[in-house]
A and B are shown apart, each in its own frame.
Chain A
Amino acid sequence: MSDTPRSFQEIILRLQSYWARHGCAILQPYDMEVGAGTFHPATTLRSLGTNPWAAAYVQPSRRPTDGRYGENPNRLQYYYQYQVLIKPSPPNLQELYLGSLQAIGVDMDLHDIRFVEDDWESPTLGAWGLGWEVWCDGMEVSQFTYFQQVGGHDCHPVSGELTYGLERLAMYILGVDHVMDMPFNDPDAPIPLSYGDIFKQTEEEYARWNFDVANTDVLLRHFEEAEAECKTIIEQEHMDPKTGKRIVMAHPAYDQAIKASHMFNLLDARGVISVTERQAYIGRVRALTKMCADAFVQTRAGGWTGDAT
């Protein structure tokens, strides 16, 4: 068996099986537009509360401002992140992480792996943590973070989060200079497909739409509607009058926060948000995620243990 993977998807599959082998639940991508794997409720919400958690998943991520019409060798407005979240963070998380690099074909005896300070902060999630960006021969291949606070809540226990920028990492391992040239499936497959075969078209289309066509009035309205809906959901009584059950709707509300955040990113790409307004928008999204975090810790999944009765 060759130790070096032959395609983008093989790298993903190896990560999936590595983390499955190390006890993670392998989840599927969240079915909404998010800017990063951290936004998946399996990370944002599950890092809250006291219940243990271990999950790994691929998350397609959208950053409209990074669109380059598929021309830039490294920049994409739609790309994949691989995300691992383990709560509480195990003492050997660094070793586990290095093992995952080995699993995808990084020879530890030939490369220079470094943990370089990078404090992580997400103003829209009201979250921060300490950790590193992990360098392989000078290239950032992952973010490694110990969550300290999410949605304004202190994390007890602390989650360890790993985020791999899949395209960049894969390009490095496969020795590809332009992302669009990277083999997506096995190059010897009957129908070999490159990354470009799959995404060149969409990168062009979205870059044009993101930068020049998206209707900013509509985006703004969507932002405000999502914001209003999020608040409405949160304001509901915990007791569901129909079923008589206590149902705190943290996740539906959080979907709306995700939506608002994406609308903000689109507005930003359209260049209609000034520096000062930017802070205000970020503050509004943060207020939503904070509400959702407050709600989540009121759920059983979030560690709520029920009334004394």
Chain B
Amino acid sequence: MADLLIELFSEEIPARMQARAADDLKKLLTDGMVEAGLTYASAAAFATPRRLCLTVEGLLDASPRTVEERKGPKADAPEKAIEGFLRGAGLTRDDLEKRDTPKGAILFAKIVKEGRPAAEIIADVLEHTIRTFPWPKSMRWGNGTLKWVRPLHTILCILSREDGAEVVPLDVDGIVSGNTTYGHRFLAPDAITVNNFDDYAAKLKRAFVVLDSAERRDAIWHDATNMAFASGMEVVEDAGLLAEVAGLVEWPVVLMGRIGDDFLDLPPEVLQTSMKEHQKFFSVRNPKTGRIERFVTVANRTTADDGATILAGNEKVLSARLADAKFFWDNDLRIARSDVGMAAWVENLKNVTFHNKLGTQAELIDRMAVLARALAPMVGADADDAEQAAKIAKADLSSEMVYEFPELQGLMGRYYALAAGMSEEVAAAAEEHYAPLGPSDDVPTAPVSVAVALAEKIDKLTGFWAIDEKPTGSKDPFALRRAALGVIRTLVENDISTDLSAVALKGFGAHRVKLADPSEEADFTNLDLPINLLDFFHDRLKVYLKDQGIRHDIIDACIAMEGNDDLTLLVKRARALSDTLKTDDGENLLQAFKRANNILSQAEAGTNLEYSHGGDVKFAETDEERALFAALDQADSVIAPAMKAQDFSTAMSALASLRPTLDAFFEAVQINTDNDVVRRNRLNLLGRIRTLCASIADLTKIDG
């Protein structure tokens, strides 16, 4: 048994790639060794900014010798067949053994694979791993052709046993393996010779390198929270930042600094964004004021002055950054509060292209305002508010702050709208109209925000439809699928009923698409657009509902109904139908409906007849028929008002409650009799079931 230690020592590895690289190193090496027959007890991988490390314990000293027997052709087979077999197995004639079997004499080959020493296998697997390592981005350097994430300097590769360690010999483009590494770049740059993993980890720690990123992370968080706590403050949690910072240092030293008083009144998001994006600082909040008042930075070393110089430098850099941010903030506020106000920014947006075929951002805003106004009554918003909100929602795109920090778009709009004296509702729409950004992002709920959010997305969809830039396959450069899902979720989750076709028509109209009136002046003509867009919505709706466990065919059965451009209604119908079909009664009713429908189709086939008169109870001959009439009357009296109230679940459970009566009817009653009056009456009775079902969903679309 032996233990393996590998270290690949390079120039600084990007923080975001380290964890994945450690995992990949472990997987590629261990898979490769196992495939070559070299099994092991346990393995672990580590990464620092300058090294990837793998330790494997309990490794076999060599791969086992294997013997495989392979059956060949018959002994009297043609020479060519035997030669072919030998070639395939890589053997010579002497390796074959003739054996008598019930099927005659057959040649057998014995293929012996001698075991290989561990070092040989490791060298092969490691070299292959280095040459094919799956870095997200890799590079060449100097005169070489080898690729690594940054220049690779040394390869440490040793096998250690109780009696000592041996270097696994390896040469990758001139980088020769050894048993040395280096400590911290500044604190302990000398070469270190190691014997095994424990020795390596211990010596590295003495050389100011914490090998394990989890240990670095914990140390950073521990020190940062302690330091903040000692000042009566708290660190704003940010797991992503913590992981990143742990990947930037080998010897973390936490320092806490102050934010200049001049900057404390900046919006906290601005402070946080600026500190995080530019400086990788944690924000430290004062719970008494609720403000961000300090920062935590993590240095990569100790110094004789306990980090005083480093901290002073960091504070200075931050001040310069925040001076910029404050400059933007003050300028922006001055404009927002001026007489012209945010209109000045909208004016600038006349020079900013939204899309070369769809005009400028200012034109987009005009269209959004029209749409938001039209949508307002449907979503319960004040029309003037909705229009005003749409007009300023994108104004912050010309602000200096958003130019500097694009990720603050919307949020700054909200601050500036408030500064400009707009209402909370209108200001909120500036931030919330972008939502939802992803499938798990919250949808806006405030009516004004909803109106503007819908307006923005419908304008986008109708616009790109008009210029025929629809998503195809995996290509969706304008994120139109996301926009459609946003519309769907905003409507459904807020329980808003809309005539989406009518809204889309307005959208197309704003994009100057000629749809109906031939006298309309138009830039685009395509009469199929609205239908096509509605189909797109329905497709996205299927994906959305499928994620919620509602089957495709159920949605199809509901889309086939009138009013399918009210997505909220459609979803309610689909949910009710899905629930009903999950019950026994529902499933059986479906079968009964299909049976009735088949009987009717056959009876109607080749005739002009349609059995939709409802039948008359006085021609009923059996109790079961009469019971069905009664049950249908009863169901009608529940279903009609329920449907009117869009109470699909009541309607559907009333429908499902027909099941026992209907089952009994089919059991007892023969539809086709010699008496034509009775027969037609029965068909018309079945016709009532068909009509009733059809008023709820198109059950013919349901599978099974």
Contact = CB atoms under 8 A, between A and B. Distances in A.
B313 A172 contact: yes
A274 B363 CA distance: 14
B142 A115 contact: no
A108 B303 CA distance: 10
A146 B151 contact: yes
B351 interface: yes
B310 interface: yes
Interface stretch (A87-95, A225-233, A235-243): A87-95
Given A90-B142, A138-B317, A108 B15 contact: no
B289 interface: no
B327 A117 contact: no
A201 interface: no
Interface in B313-372: 313-314, 316-318, 320, 323-324, 327, 351-353, 355-356, 360
B352 A274 contact: yes
A130 B139 contact: yes
Interface residues of A, number: 43
Nearest to A130: B139
Interface string A138-170: 110000001010000001111010000000000
B279 interface: yes
Interface string B138-153: 1111110000011101
Contact of B279 (A132, A138, A158): A138
B309 A137 contact: yes
A158 B314 contact: no
Given A110-B310, A115-B11, A157-B143, A91 B151 contact: yes
Contact of B320 (A74, A146, A275, A276): A74
A274 B351 contact: yes
A116 B16 CA distance: 11
B313 A138 contact: yes
Contact of A114 (B16, B143, B248, B281): B248
A129 interface: yes
A295 B360 CA distance: 39
Interface string A34-75: 000000000000000000000000000000000000001111
Contact of B310 (A112, A148, A276): A112
B196 interface: no
Given A114-B300, A272-B351, A137 B142 contact: no
B304 interface: yes
B303 A110 contact: yes
Interface string A109-123: 111111111010000
A219 interface: no
B313 A111 contact: yes
Given A88-B143, A139-B317, A117 B351 contact: no
Contact of A148 (B140, B279, B281): B140
A130 B140 CA distance: 9
A165 to B, nearest CB: 13
Contacts of B15: 116-117
Nearest to B255: A112
Given A91-B153, A116-B248, A73 B320 contact: yes
Nearest to A86: B142
Contact of B353 (A75, A112, A129, A276): A276
Contacts of B140: 146, 148, 155-156, 158
Contact of A158 (B14, B141, B351): B141
A275 B353 CA distance: 6
Given A130-B139, A158-B140, A110 B317 contact: no
A274 B301 CA distance: 46
Nearest to B327: A72
A195 B371 CA distance: 55
B553 interface: no
Contacts of B699: none
Contacts of B310: 110-112, 137
**Max chain A C-beta neighbours (<10 A), residue from B138, B351, B355:** B351
Contacts of A172: 313, 316
B662 interface: no
Nearest to B355: A276
A271 interface: yes
B8 interface: no
Nearest to B140: A158
B137 interface: yes
A136 interface: yes
Nearest to B295: A138
Which of B139, B280, B300: most chain A Cβ within 10 A? Answer: B139
Interface in A245-304: 271-272, 274-277
Interface in B413-457: none
Contacts of A94: 11
Contacts of A111: 303, 309-310, 313
B299 interface: yes
A129 B313 contact: no
A275 B403 CA distance: 13
A110 B15 CA distance: 24
Contact of B324 (A72, A114, A130, A177): A72
A109 B303 contact: yes
A111 B302 CA distance: 9
Contact of A276 (B304, B312, B314, B356): B356
B409 interface: no
Contact of A137 (B12, B149, B314): B314
B153 A274 contact: no
Nearest to B149: A130
B301 A112 contact: yes
B238 interface: no
A132 B313 contact: no
B146 to A, nearest CB: 11
Given A110-B305, A117-B16, A130-B137, A138 B324 contact: no
A117 B11 contact: no
Given A73-B323, A91-B153, A137-B317, A112 B299 contact: yes
B272 interface: no
B336 to A, nearest CB: 20
A128 to B, nearest CB: 10
Q: Interface centre among B12, B15, B149, B353, by most A CB within 10 Å?
A: B12
Nearest to B186: A108
Contacts of B355: 276
B297 interface: yes
Contact of A136 (B141, B312, B313): B313
A137 B351 CA distance: 40
A131 B10 CA distance: 12
Contact of A146 (B141, B305, B318): B141
A274 B356 CA distance: 9
Contacts of B142: 88-91, 157-158
A150 to B, nearest CB: 13
B15 to A, nearest CB: 7
Max chain A CB contacts within 10 Å: which of B15, B16, B141, B303? B141
Given A117-B14, A177-B316, 16 more contacts: A74-B324, A88-B142, A89-B151, A112-B301, A113-B186, A113-B300, A115-B11, A116-B12, A116-B280, A117-B16, A130-B137, A136-B313, A138-B313, A148-B139, A272-B351, A276-B356
Interface of A: 72-75, 88-91, 94, 108-117, 119, 129-132, 136-139, 146, 148, 155-158, 160, 172, 177, 271-272, 274-277
18 contacts: A73-B320, A88-B143, A108-B186, A110-B305, A111-B313, A113-B186, A113-B300, A116-B15, A130-B139, A130-B150, A137-B309, A137-B313, A137-B314, A138-B281, A139-B316, A148-B139, A158-B139, A276-B355
User: Which 6 pairs, one residue from A and one from B, show the smallest C-beta to C-beta distance?
Assistant: A137-B313, A117-B14, A274-B353, A115-B12, A138-B314, A112-B299
